[in-house]
Structure 1
Amino acid sequence: MLASLFLIGALVTTPQMSVQAANQTAVEDGSGGMARAVNRMVGGIVSYARWPTGSAATARTMCVVGAPRLTDRMAPDVPGPGSVTVRRVTTATVTPECDILFLGRMPVADRRQLIAWVRGRPILTITDDDAACIYGAMFCLSNKAASISFSVNIDAIGRGPLRIDPRVLRIGGGEGGAS
């Protein structure tokens, strides 16, 4: 059923394995097709995240740092209840009020600083500037052949208090059926 709500493609990345799956089609049709695809993908990822007890609000704040590669129109489309407010911030103004940190293009030193700061905090990290998912974000978007896919950094997820529904990994492994 989850796969029928939105098509998610995943590349699950661990030190030992990679699994390729289907992609979210992102055809530029003059009406923001790429932006819609990115926002559906980000919203879907957010819907798989569970914040620790005590922060059960369904309204989340996404802080965008740097310049996103795939779209400047960030407005995550979360399926079901919940919403995401988007704030553009600088490396120096990121605060714990950011539930989600979206990392666009930025100097590597700034990216490393932010990833180090996030470790151990209940902050979901997503980037579109690291397709191989090697710099520490939890989810890494990429655009190949007019489609959006994502990589999952299991190590980064395991280091923090957020819980990611394992069904996102099943979709990545091709086991997520449309029921």
Structure 2
Amino acid sequence: MAYDRYLAICHPLRYSSLMNSTFCAQLALLSWLCGFLAVSVLAALISRLSFCGRNVINHFICDIDSWIVLSCVHKRLIELATFIDSFIVVMVSCTITLVSYIFIISTILRIPSVQGRQKAFSTCSTHLTVMTIWYGSGIFLYVKPSAQNSLDLNKTINILTLW
């Protein structure tokens, strides 16, 4: 979505030629493939964990921290893998979005008319707000070194990401 907004605001005359249905499908496929690979690594590691004792997930969604807390074996490897995977996924996508918005905002500030600037800002302000909430809560939830933090607090923050 950030790339779409970038093209629409920074290159409006070339938008339809750059953002065609083939390119949209390629972007979607790349996103799905990267997401599948990122989750597959963690799923493979979780499938090797041993669970003993009370096996009740303290969450309303199947979150990875809930699985890690339930495990009764050495958890450092999966916590480290989760941290690295989350850092790469969340921070790389956040950086790409942030860079695109830097270009968007610099382009908007160069628009001579006030009405043109307002229209451009209104076009992307809701997306920027949602991305700020999503990345903020995602960084708080997943880019942390340990799963031993409060799961109740994580449930509250997850409401923002599911919102």
Query: TM-score by structure 2 length?
Result: 0.29
Name the one with the larger strand percent.
1
Larger radius of gyration: 2
